[in-house]
Amino acid sequence: MYGLVDGLLYAEISSDLGLFRSASSIALFDGTPDAALANAGPWLLDCTDNPDSHMASLRQLGDGAIGCVWIISGYAAEDLAAALRARLNVRMPNGSTALLRYYDARITSDIAAILTPAQRAWFFAPAQDWLVQRNGQLTTIHQTHAA
């Protein structure tokens, strides 16, 4: 199980701790042209091996208006991070590139709602379950059913 958070929003509830790079905390902007902004960008937090490391902060986010994204995936943390990095930018109709803020729990369901079925299948492929928790409410955004 993974938490996906916006680094700036995470800092609002955990300013004394903050996020730091480790095997269980991966900055998704690392290795991209936006690497200089990594602390303020999306972070993948692995809650599988050591759930206590991030769980309290993720629950606090999920209980409030900021919210958090939960991902259940069979991917290893680095593999999931790579798959999520590949989904950060979208091509706009005018040919420009824009950042897709799917890691912001406040808008994740809106993004999912505008995707075509083919786009949804590709976008959510790394996850068995993609959920958003806001104001204490857990909402399933996408669920992959085993065949």
pLDDT digits (tens, 9 = 90+) for 79-130: 999 999 999 999 999 999 999 999 999 999 999 999 999 999 999 999 999 9
CA 28 to chain CA centroid, Å, is: 9
DSSP 8-state code for residue 22: B
Q: How confident is residue 48, by pLDDT bands cut at 50, 70 and 90?
A: confident
**133: containing domain:** 2-143
Q: What is the mean pLDDT of residues 12-25?
A: 78
Q: How confident is residue 147, by pLDDT bands cut at 50, 70 and 90?
A: very low
- Residues paired with residue 42 on neighbouring β-strands, in sequence order: 6
Look at the chain and report how many structural domains it folds into. 1
Which ranges of 74-136 would DSSP assign to H, the alpha helix? 77-85, 108-114, 117-123
Q: How confident is residue 144, by pLDDT bands cut at 50, 70 and 90?
A: confident
pTM strictly above 0.75: yes
